[in-house]
Amino acid sequence: MQNLYIGVMSGTSMDGVDIALVDISNGKITAIASDCYPMPNEIKTRLLTLCNSKQTTLQDLGELDHQLGIIYAKSINQFLKQNNIDNKQVKAIGCHGQTIYHSPNGDNPFTMQIGDANIIAAQTGITTIADFRRKDMAYGGQGAPLVPAFHKAIFLNSAINCVVLNIGGISNISVLIPDQPVIGYDTGPGNVLLDGWINKSLGTSYDKDGLWAKSGKVNQNLLSALCNEDYFQLPAPKSTGRELFNLAWLMQKLTDFALNGQDIQATLVEFTAITIANEIDKLPIKNNLPCQLLVCGGGAKNPLIMQQLSALLPKWQVSATDKKGVNSDDMEAIAFAWLAYCRMNNIPSNIPEVTGASQSVCLGVIYQ
């Protein structure tokens, strides 16, 4: 008998709503179906404006929270219909929500994801789990990243030094080295600056296959200026987002440079790759074991980023998670289905060594 859960994720890039249907039975995690539903342009524009300006009104914030709840619910219902799944077959939905601000290091740390889970539960008829990050923060953690626990469940191998790299808007790693505590943190930008710059320059949402970046050349002086950011000197646990790495941050860095657009894009690809590689080079790997870097998220589809990672990390076999049977586009949605399973079964699902929390806790709030 199947034990079905749905995971829902809309990440930093805000390009769509990723949905995965997962069977979690007898200790096995099996992805059954997945799809992505476009984020309405008007909502994406409002979200980006909110995140980039850091200004809003209570009216706008409340309306966006409501509208996102409806978008998630409609996407889930469409997904169920397309896959001939009755809502009564699904134990729970795990919905991450849309992060609009993440501030784990101030005097009053907080993180905010919107997308009203009451609406999701009401309109789908399925128990919904949301607000996954704040319980970890209540115990002193960063509230991020949360997927290393899932990566541990599916990829830990006693014969391999394994790092799972998610390149979404922000890049994060899960470090799975045998006989060592699992660690994981945000390395810095993934696609957020690449997408923002090409959108500003050409009006397109992303650089398909890295073709625009391929037509440019890396500017080493700009690369040095980009890398000169305090975040990269911080020790783990650490996490970041659009609050720091955004188009305004990039434009400030570009003030002293007169470069063509494609050279800036090429430099941003190198920036993403080198900030990831610098962190992986620091890891205390076991030299007698092979090293495997498994990449997921949108960046796994960018051949230029993958090529640069391979060049910068010659010890590591670099490949998309697809080669291990997990679609690189679906990884985070599957992870939030698993997190919903953990919450419904009262299984702690954070890793204190990753987030910095004082203890393991069950993550997520149940909406019925």
How do strand 4-9 and strand 16-25 relate by DSSP bridges? Answer: antiparallel
Residues forming the annotated binding site? 11-18
Question: CA nearest 225: which of 270, 194, 261?
Answer: 270
- The residues facing 188 across adjacent strands are 171
> Which two structure tokens, joined as six digits, stand for 275?
């900030």
Cα 360 from Cα 353, distance rounded (Å): 10
Could you report how far apart the first and last alpha carbons of the chain are, in Å?
Answer: 23
Residue 30 near residue 4 (C-beta atoms within 8 A): no
Cβ neighbours for 154, distance < 8 A, ≥ 6 positions apart: 29, 326
Place of tokens 């030299």: 287
> Which two structure tokens, joined as six digits, stand for 235?
């020790």
CA dihedral 33, 39, 40, 41 (to 10 degrees): -140
Residues forming the annotated binding site for ATP? 11-18
Question: CA nearest 72: which of 91, 89, 96, 46?
Answer: 96
